[in-house]
Structure 1
Amino acid sequence: VEAHMNNPLIKVRFLPYRNEPERLATVKQHLCDFLGAGTGGPEQYRGRNMPEAHRGMNVSAQEYMAAVDDILSTLDKHKIDEHTRKDVLAIAYSLKDQIIHV
């Protein structure tokens, strides 16, 4: 989420969170839990489903790919293994129709 907040293409979507640290912490936790659960980790995702979470945001394909690139870059930065990276990428691609232009 920090990478998203610094990405010129999508940071405007995250500006409201800068002044709401509790809400920002919740978004960060949801992303970690969602990806952790999706890649076989012990995390349990308790947030809304993807269409509900992104409804009305009208996320473009370009914005979506920028977010995916941010996530993959963050995984690289933290030296996450290739298998997990592939799992995360598969999750991202499986969800794009539930997020783009919802």
Structure 2
Amino acid sequence: MEATNQNSLYKRLGETKGISAIVDDIIEAHMNNPAIKARFLPLKDNSEHFAVTRQHLINFIITGSGGPQNYTGKNMTDAHRGMNINEKEYMHAIDDIMNTLEKHQVDEQSKKDVLAIVYSLKDTMIGV
């Protein structure tokens, strides 16, 4: 296993523990956001699906931020296929992510790095 860079986004987000806490708060924010909560509230009704989805998101962020975890879930297009997410919903999700990073006192450069990653995935999520 390759050593993780001390300045990697993974390290700056608090490694697995920090990323897990951030993911939990992002999910909570999505479930409370009137513009997108209808897409997330059904997860509460299926605890097994919720746990799998949560872990995939954690692993996805760990892998994408330079951490040691291997993401084995679907690619973003397949994960969002059939959802027909629109631009407005996407922007609400980004706002939730950025507000959560602020809540966790993530530094400005790391927030910019996360935002760049999220925007790079935009076309794989909207309208698929």
What's the TM-score once normalised by structure 2's chain length? 0.74
In terms of mean alpha carbon deviation, does 35-44 or 51-60 score higher? Answer: 35-44
What is the CA-CA distance between 1:83 and the residue it aligns to? 2.5
1:41, 1:54 → 2: CA distance?
24
What is the 5 A alignment of 1:35-46? 35-46=61-72
What is the CA-CA distance between 1:39 and the residue it aligns to? 1.7
Unaligned runs of 5+ in 1: none
Match of 1:50 in 2: 76
Say yes or no: does 1:96 pair with 2:94. no
Unaligned runs of 5+ in 2: 1-26
1:27, 1:101 → 2: CA distance?
20
- The higher radius of gyration belongs to 2
1:73-97 per-position Cα deviation (integer Å, ceiling 9, x unaligned)? 1111111222321221111110101
Given the superposition, is the C-alpha separation of residues 42 and 83 from structure 1 closer, same or farther in structure 2, using an over 3 Å criterion? farther
1:86, 1:11 → 2: CA distance?
25
SS at match of 2:118: helix
What is the CA-CA distance between 1:42 and the residue it aligns to? 2.3
2:96, 2:54 → 1: CA distance?
13
Matched-pair contact (CA < 8 Å) for 1:30–1:47: yes
- RMSD of aligned Cα (Å): 1.2
Say yes or no: does 1:3 pair with 2:36. no
1:37, 1:99 → 2: CA distance?
19
In terms of mean alpha carbon deviation, does 47-56 or 31-40 score higher? Answer: 31-40
SS at match of 2:34: coil
2:67, 2:112 → 1: CA distance?
14
1:32, 1:82 → 2: CA distance?
21
Match of 1:25 in 2: 51
Q: Paired residues, what number?
A: 102
What's the TM-score once normalised by structure 1's chain length? 0.91
Identity across matched positions, percent: 58
